[in-house]
Structure 1
């Protein structure tokens, strides 16, 4: 098992969850406040999306990301910031003309997806490693687009979090490394329970973990009611963990959660297993991230032991 655990708080996401839990943050001010709340609860990393401040819908605004990051950095907390670069892949065929995108389609080029990362240089950014049926839409990530996106992330000097929603995505992520498009050791994120990708269960997590490169840094999460069981399972299998309102709205059945409460609950699970949550400073050193103040790449420390 892993005895030194990086715990990510995914504070808002981009789904239609804002009407289902009033604690899902919408504005940059509220998203930053959730990151700060997660930091105070003990999270190592904040995974950040931004939303349209009026509708709560999808936004890709660099200025909104900038505001969130600045507010967090000005607060009296420390947390690693990981901004999404996975937006702009939603394809819903038009009912009358399936060769065209219908309502809800949101497609961006790799350069457009990367723009906030290139401008703001966060410590981490996501790189989603394949396409899949995502609920009733198709999440579109062609291989050549992903290669182009990987080159952009590499040129920016930002550490990628390789998000894998199915076994084939792990295969392609390894291929990116073999082609020299990923520098150093990335963080693999095994994304479980999203219809219709990899299921959130022990067998699936183990199968995906077993396809990772030797000694890879990896984390996993489950959505909805699978969130906390997957925290425990990831730690037991040697990985890191993620919680947050992006993935799950409830603290327990019928009880709406806050991001801070989810971090606290996950931390308790981790500690009860005999492990500990790594600090943001330890996380930067373990993952060899860019220092947010000096810009230098931090060295390695002892991480988890399996």
Structure 2
């Protein structure tokens, strides 16, 4: 298997994990330091969420993104920067009165999920391609077709590459519609997210079925969460895709051994190389994804 594999490190995510591991970065300085360490360990791409400094929970604070990105860009490494644009889709309802929003709700429109992307112009940002019952309870992630069309148009206008986050086959179906409608510039980049309740199970046969649904010329990464994360690096590469690891999705390097982002990256590099592939450098990742030819479309506000 003589090919280049883009390796993403998802540094911190939005989950309630900072209290479960001391290695989960919280401040912009910690997030940037982990991004730099992951890049030195071999990550082609770093995927960034930010967190509230007091509660350590997820945040949409533009200043935190600004500082983390500044520190990475001023460092001696140059990973592809991928900023989440998924925050602002959380709806928690009272199951006895679904018209009542409960604590934990953070629901804004498509454009209000993008101010940090508009300011910082990362090479990649995420686009969550559908709504989902997010785990047990009454927490929903909301991303409707109308919202996705509006968001994808704005991202396209900015000249940023959207990473199409796919949590189930219906998400993939609609992402393909966005591609068909010309709202996603080539090559479309898909992230097949497996094992997240209650989306697509971490089943290799299902992964292959989803890969079979991808349009011609698409690039894809797949990942799974928890103890399946590192085995899924091999699963994704063998299916023809790229790979992702990081503390967003998994806190352990092995049973009982807490991971760091750099440690997970190093392990993923070893898995990829053991399969006979090579990890792409950041510049090789840019070439594969044609990031160097992404330009703002007409009407961009800078």
TM-score by length of 2: 0.95
**In 1: Cα distance, 2:180 partner to 2:295 partner:** 25
Measured against aligned partners, the alpha-carbon deviations of 1:4-50 in whole angstroms (never above 9, x if no partner) come to 10000000001000011110000000000010010010000000000
1:242 corresponds in structure 2 to 244
- Residue 170 of structure 1, aligned match among 161, 167, 172: 172
Contact 2:12 2:26 in 1 (8 A): yes
CA distance in 2, matches of 1:148, 1:249: 35
Query: After the TM superposition, which segments of 4 or more aligned residues of structure 1 sit over 6 Å from their partners?
Result: none
How do residues 134-213 of structure 1 correspond to structure 2 at under 5 angstroms? Answer: 134-136=134-136, 137-213=139-215
Change (3 A) 1:296 1:155: closer
Which residue does the alignment assign to 1:19?
19
Residue 35 (str. 1) matches residue 39 (str. 2): no
1:75 and 2:61 equivalent? no
In structure 2, C-alpha distance between the alignment counterparts of 1:184 and 1:236, rounded to whole Å: 23
Give the aligned partner of residue 300 of structure 1: none
Per-residue CA shift, 1:58-82, capped at 9, x if unaligned?
2101111110010001111121100
Structure-1 residue corresponding to 2:107: 107
Distance 1:250 1:96 in 2: 37
How many residue pairs match? The answer is 294
Q: Deviations over 1:135-156 (max 9, x none)?
A: 1311111110000000110110
What displacement does 1:220 show?
0.3
Q: Is the 8 A contact 1:2 1:238 kept in 2?
A: no
Q: Work out the CA distance in 2 between the residues paired with 1:272 and 1:91.
A: 42
10-19 vs 108-117, which deviates more?
Answer: 108-117
Cα deviations across residues 92-121 of structure 1 (Å, max 9, x unaligned)?
112553212111111011111011111110
Structure 1 stretches of 5 or more lacking a match?
A: 298-306
Unaligned segments of structure 2, at least 5 residues: 297-302
Q: In structure 2, how many angstroms separate the alpha carbons of the residues matched to 1:239 and 1:97? A: 43
Pair 290,109 (structure 1): closer, same or farther in 2 beyond 3 Å: farther
Q: Deviations over 1:211-244 (max 9, x none)?
A: 0012310000000011011100111110000000
1:46 — aligned with what? 46
Distance 1:67 1:29, change over 3 A: same
Give the TM-score normalised by structure 1. 0.93
Distance 1:264 1:37, change over 3 A: same
Cα offset for 1:186?
2.0
**Cα shift at 1:296:** 6.6
Residue matched to 1:4: 4
